Amino acid sequence: MAKTPVLTPQADDFPRWYQDLIHKAELADNGPVRGTMVIRPYGYGLWERMQQDMDARIKATGTQNAYFPLLIPQSYLTREAEHVEGFAPELAVVTHGGGKELEEPVVIRPTSETIINEYFAKWVQSHRDLPLLINQWANVVRWEMRPRLFLRTSEFLWQEGHTAHATYEEARDFAAHIHRHVYGDFMRDVLAMDFVLGRKTAKERFAGAINTLTLEGMMGDGKALQLGTSHELGQNFAKAFQTRYLSKEGRQELVWQTSWGSTTRMIGALVMMHGDDHGMRVPPRLAPVQAVVLAIKGDDAVLAEVRAIGAALEAAGVRVHVDDRTDLPFGRRAVDWELKGVPVRVEVGPRDLESGTAMLVRRIAGGKEPVAIGALAALVPAVLDEDQSLLLTQARARRASRTADVATVAEAVEATAAGGWARVPWAALGEEGEARLAEHAVTVRCLVAEDGAVPDADETPGNVAVVARSY
Amino acid sequence: MAKTPVLTPQADDFPRWYQDLIHKAELADNGPVRGTMVIRPYGYGLWERMQQDMDARIKATGTQNAYFPLLIPQSYLTREAEHVEGFAPELAVVTHGGGKELEEPVVIRPTSETIINEYFAKWVQSHRDLPLLINQWANVVRWEMRPRLFLRTSEFLWQEGHTAHATYEEARDFAAHIHRHVYGDFMRDVLAMDFVLGRKTAKERFAGAINTLTLEGMMGDGKALQLGTSHELGQNFAKAFQTRYLSKEGRQELVWQTSWGSTTRMIGALVMMHGDDHGMRVPPRLAPVQAVVLAIKGDDAVLAEVRAIGAALEAAGVRVHVDDRTDLPFGRRAVDWELKGVPVRVEVGPRDLESGTAMLVRRIAGGKEPVAIGALAALVPAVLDEDQSLLLTQARARRASRTADVATVAEAVEATAAGGWARVPWAALGEEGEARLAEHAVTVRCLVAEDGAVPDADETPGNVAVVARSY
């Protein structure tokens, strides 16, 4: 069946393709206030499954969930100098409440380091209270001048973890653990995402951090997207809020802290890393619906069969949905499921029944073939496993083929202009080279060691800068 | 063991007892902006379990989760006249964003009927799109002049459901179903709460609704607390936002709508309905920790035994926590678990080991007795079931004993001043009587039919007004 081009082809205009897809797959709409978004049920279903999986991984580290207020006194922000400088331009300010002008304006949290430290300073008294490991699932507001659904929105949903530790080493190791084994494992194993795990340069660090770890993914057009960050805050916020503990040796010491966040941006990343000209391709482990069973026509035998297949797949552990809306054209429904990226479609019509088969359509690997109905329950789970791996393999292959090792700023600009990433020795680049790249809208996404590990410092010999245009 | 009075006794000062408990059980702290709150991990753990259970019940009705923006253009609020009148005094207004004064101020959602209708009007085209059943878990802000943690806070967490239907009857029945079988069943079966399910008078209705259903619970001091509300919105918002569908007959018709919400206030209700002078009593079905196994002393045999008991209880399906912090005084830890209302404590010390027993302490029924260690795994689940029922029975008995049937406004004022509820024939009260009660800070919590059912209208003959002082 030839496909109607429901989306702008990626090769014609990738950003337009993205926008078309977000709307047509019913993931999100633009909100009425500039830069805000309405996350529709299908998009929110993806977020719910991300939350559920990540929440379990976060709790497995001993971290507990809590909830801090949305509204922060403006004065809190100013206590950590770099922090306020970084966030001031993005703040939403509440000046009136309960019908009156407020004595002190309050801001909507752009992130919660300041308000959380106010409480950590009260809750932490002794070394027995450490480590203090807290996470919250919340909304934050950062006023956005160039909004793009899921990627940059004035309000977004996220989790933000905040921890306090007795020593520098423990804080450093905790941030690294979260980054590699909560974010990294989740994104690779569930989202089938390929990424580089590295360290941000001083210029790109979180406002108030002494080190920021990042995961950077390559999108379908070769641009980079930051997928999640984890920060070592050192003692910066502890100093600003006097967050101290009584050590075993009886001394008052400042705590060492971390913070780490991942956001609804992951939904945008999922679209742009795995999507194709026909829509999304959702990794089976994430997919709220892994297989949809479609009745092509509404006769009784077909309807009975799709329900039986649905039940058999469900019994085989597949998250399945039966589409029996035969009052809608079959073609429109098929295109709809394709747009939404449901990994497997099982299509059943009267002719299939005669032959005892159903059409198995694979969204991820592509292709369709008739399969004996009795074989579906064994086959579909195997197909889902295979396609989960395939998405990761394809993403890895893209990055490998579109990353160039170069030696100079000029070469890096050339490589990235063509829609790819460049790897440049940091020694050949440095902060001056970083500034020259910026003139071409190219940024250092992160620094990695020669062997791909995460370096301890920006200036560790052999560091390689991964540079790209980015979202 | 005589208890140190860690809390102000309920009989001395109930509000003070409540405040002491919220802080000492580490449920919540006051936020820095007046009326906001920090929900601490123990309090948030209760909320997470409420969410999880209710979310499944909400989804079972066919409702899907989504997410609408926090920020709403001020002009949206004004489109439904009663709605803006009701909420205007409580709004938080954002006047500056991204370093500039906004052209139109935006408000932080106090509830989402207006913004949701803006999108329902786009999404609903045909009768095929109905019913549209949406829920969101979110924070809302209503500026609060007399804040009280969990009960009235300027920001709170809730779920708000919003639905659109083709007919009045379908909308009415859906609101009633949510109210009785999502809220009612959850509160009775999980929270062990007793309540009256009734209809609000015109004066107490949600701003913009044609009917509001409520669940009203009696707290430990005899006052009432509204536990959850469900609204029939009629076509009020549909008219304001032109939310129309093409009927089967080919006509453009306005939809009929409902909205319904339940909030973090339920945590406050839990405290005030079941708590006693020693702290919370958490219903076993809700409790994040149903049984805590305490090592009294830190010797190896005791530690090995508490871990073995913990494992045995876990295998028996009990949510268990092993407290082996023997560097802290045992008495302090015991008081702490008591404050937090963990239903069962199993205490093990060296002397218990000699006799092969552990001390089983029941927080809900009260009392302690030595139990053979081998019998715990069978006994504890039975105790938890018994105590779940006991809480509900006690709450029901309180309401029965502290509710008076009266005939006049004067009698109603007298009965409620003594710390109880009164039932007054609505025909003897009416809107004039309601106004006179208000002079004594007594409100009509709801109207019920003579047989306890929910009446179809305020003026249905035989309606009884349940009146009380309230939180």
Using a CB–CB cutoff of 8 Å, tell me whether A24 touches chain B.
no
* CATH number for the segment(s) A21-274: 3.30.930.10
pLDDT reading at B330 higher than 80: yes
User: Which B positions 294-353 lie with beta carbon below 8 A of chain A?
Assistant: 327-328
Using a CB–CB cutoff of 8 Å, tell me whether B158 touches chain A.
no
pLDDT category at A200 given cuts 50, 70, 90 is very high
Q: Report whether A344 contacts A384 (CB < 8 A).
A: yes
Angstroms from B195 CA to nearest CA on chain A: 28
Name the token pair of B394.
């006690």
**Which residue of A69, A105, A154 is in closest CB contact with B31?**
A69
Using a CB–CB cutoff of 8 Å, tell me whether B89 touches chain A.
yes
pLDDT at A303: 96
Q: Report whether A248 contacts A127 (CB < 8 A).
A: yes
A44 and B66 in contact by Cβ < 8 A? yes
A247 DSSP assignment: -
What chain A residue is nearest to B106 in terms of C-alpha separation?
Answer: A33
Q: How many angstroms separate the CA atoms of A87 and A108, rounded? A: 11
For A94-135, write each residue's pLDDT tens digit.
Answer: 999 999 999 999 999 999 999 999 999 999 999 999 999 999
User: Which A positions 110-129 lie with beta carbon below 8 A of chain B?
Assistant: 115, 118-119, 122, 128
What chain A residue is nearest to B29 in terms of C-alpha separation?
Answer: A119
A96 and B96 in contact by Cβ < 8 A? no
**Which residue of A98, A115, A145 is in closest CB contact with B32?**
A115
Angstroms from A269 CA to nearest CA on chain B: 19
Angstroms from A88 CA to nearest CA on chain B: 7
Using a CB–CB cutoff of 8 Å, tell me whether A65 touches chain B.
yes
pLDDT at B83: 85
Using a CB–CB cutoff of 8 Å, tell me whether A156 touches chain B.
no
A367: helix, strand or coil: coil
Q: Which residues have CB under 8 Å from A167's CB, separation 6+?
A: A256
Which residues does chain B have within 8 Å of residue A128's beta carbon, measured at their own beta carbons? 327-328
Name the token pair of B324.
């082996």
Q: Which residues have CB under 8 Å from B395's CB, separation 6+?
A: B192, B193, B194, B217, B218, B273, B274
| Topology (CATH) of B291-383 | Rossmann fold (3.40.50)
User: Which A positions 30-49 lie with beta carbon below 8 A of chain B?
Assistant: 31-33, 36-41, 44-45, 47-48
Which residues does chain A have within 8 Å of residue B68's beta carbon, measured at their own beta carbons? 31, 38
**Which residue of A64, A94, A119 is in closest CB contact with B94?**
A94
For A77-94, write each residue's pLDDT tens digit.
Answer: 998 888 888 899 999 999
A67 and B38 in contact by Cβ < 8 A? yes
For B216-261, write each residue's pLDDT tens digit.
Answer: 999 999 999 999 999 999 999 999 999 999 999 999 999 999 999 9
Which residues does chain A have within 8 Å of residue B37's beta carbon, measured at their own beta carbons? 69
The mean pLDDT of A393-407, rounded to a whole number, is: 98
CATH 3.40.640.10 at B14-274, yes or no: no
pLDDT category at A4 given cuts 50, 70, 90 is low
Q: How many angstroms separate the CA atoms of B284 and A78, rounded? A: 45
Angstroms from A349 CA to nearest CA on chain B: 23
Q: Which residues have CB under 8 Å from A171's CB, separation 6+?
A: A163, A164, A165, A232, A233, A234, A256, A257, A258
pLDDT at B3: 54
Which residues does chain B have within 8 Å of residue A47's beta carbon, measured at their own beta carbons? 67
The mean pLDDT of A360-367, rounded to a whole number, is: 97
pLDDT reading at A298 higher than 60: yes
A111 DSSP assignment: -
The mean pLDDT of A359-374, rounded to a whole number, is: 97
Q: How many angstroms separate the CA atoms of A222 and A224, rounded? A: 7
Q: How many angstroms separate the CA atoms of B421 and B415, rounded? A: 7
**Which residue of A37, A48, A69 is in closest CB contact with B65?**
A48
Which residues does chain B have within 8 Å of residue A155's beta carbon, measured at their own beta carbons? 69-71
User: What is the b/e burial string over A381-398, where b = at least 16 CB atoms within 10 angstroms of the residue's CB?
Assistant: bebbeebbebbbebbbeb
Angstroms from B50 CA to nearest CA on chain A: 14
For B385-423, write each residue's pLDDT tens digit.
Answer: 999 999 999 999 999 999 999 999 999 999 999 899 999
A71 and B36 in contact by Cβ < 8 A? yes
What chain A residue is nearest to B41 in terms of C-alpha separation?
Answer: A66
Per-residue HEC secondary structure of chain B comes to: CCCCCCCCCCCCCHHHHHHHHHHHCCCEEECCCCCCEEECHHHHHHHHHHHHHHHHHHHHCCCEECECCCEEEHHHHCCCHHHHHHHHHHCEEEEEECCEEEEEEEEECCCCHHHHHHHHHHHCCEHHHCCEEEEEEEEEECCCCCCECCCECCEEEEEEEEEEECCHHHHHHHHHHHHHHHHHHHHHHCCCCCCEEEECCHHHCCCCCCEEEEEEEECCCCCEEEEEEEEEEECHHHHHHCCEEECCCCCEEECEEEEEEEECHHHHHHHHHHCECCECCCCCCCCCCCEEEEECCCCHHHHHHHHHHHHHHHHCCCCEEEECCCCCCHHHHHHHHHHHCCCEEEEECHHHHHHCEEEEEECCCCCEEEEEHHHHHHHHHHHHHHHHHHHHHHHHHHHHHCEEECCCHHHHHHHHHCCCEEEEEHHHHHHHHHHHHHCCCCEEEEEECCCCCCCCCCCCCCCEEEEECEC
Percent over 70 (pLDDT), chain A: 99
pLDDT reading at B79 higher than 70: yes
* CATH number for the segment(s) A291-384: 3.40.50.800
The mean pLDDT of B135-150, rounded to a whole number, is: 97
Which residues does chain A have within 8 Å of residue B126's beta carbon, measured at their own beta carbons? none
Q: For A186, how many CA atoms within 13 A lie in the half-sphere containing its CB?
A: 23
Domain layout of chain B by residue ranges = 14-274, 291-383, 404-468
A-B C-beta contacts closer than 8 Å? 164
Question: Could you tell me where the DSSP H helices lie in A223-298?
Answer: 236-241, 265-274
Q: How many angstroms separate the CA atoms of A87 and A111, rounded? A: 9
Which residues does chain B have within 8 Å of residue A30's beta carbon, measured at their own beta carbons? none
Cis omega (within 30 of 0) for bond into B131: yes
CA distances in angstroms from A9 to A14, B203, B462, listed in the order given: 7, 57, 68
The mean pLDDT of B302-321, rounded to a whole number, is: 97
A71 and B141 in contact by Cβ < 8 A? yes
**Which residue of A31, A66, A88 is in closest CB contact with B41?**
A66
Using a CB–CB cutoff of 8 Å, tell me whether A202 touches chain B.
no
Q: Same CATH topology for A21-274 and A291-384?
A: no
Q: Report whether A319 contacts A288 (CB < 8 A).
A: yes
Q: Which of A55-69, A294-308, A432-446, B71-85 has the lowest mean pLDDT?
A: B71-85
A66 and B106 in contact by Cβ < 8 A? no
Angstroms from B263 CA to nearest CA on chain A: 14
pLDDT category at B1 given cuts 50, 70, 90 is very low
Q: What is the mean pLDDT of chain B?
A: 96
Angstroms from A69 CA to nearest CA on chain B: 6
Q: What is the mean pLDDT of chain A?
A: 96
pLDDT category at A444 given cuts 50, 70, 90 is very high
**pTM > 0.80:** yes
For A187-199, write each residue's pLDDT tens digit.
Answer: 999 999 999 999 9
The mean pLDDT of B438-445, rounded to a whole number, is: 97
Name the token pair of A355.
């032959």
**Which residue of A119, A144, A154 is in closest CB contact with B38?**
A119
Which residues does chain B have within 8 Å of residue A144's beta carbon, measured at their own beta carbons? 98
The mean pLDDT of B429-441, rounded to a whole number, is: 96
Phi, psi of B427 (to 5 degrees): -60, -30
A108 and B70 in contact by Cβ < 8 A? yes
For A318-338, write each residue's pLDDT tens digit.
Answer: 999 999 999 999 999 999 999
For A229-246, write each residue's pLDDT tens digit.
Answer: 999 999 999 999 999 999
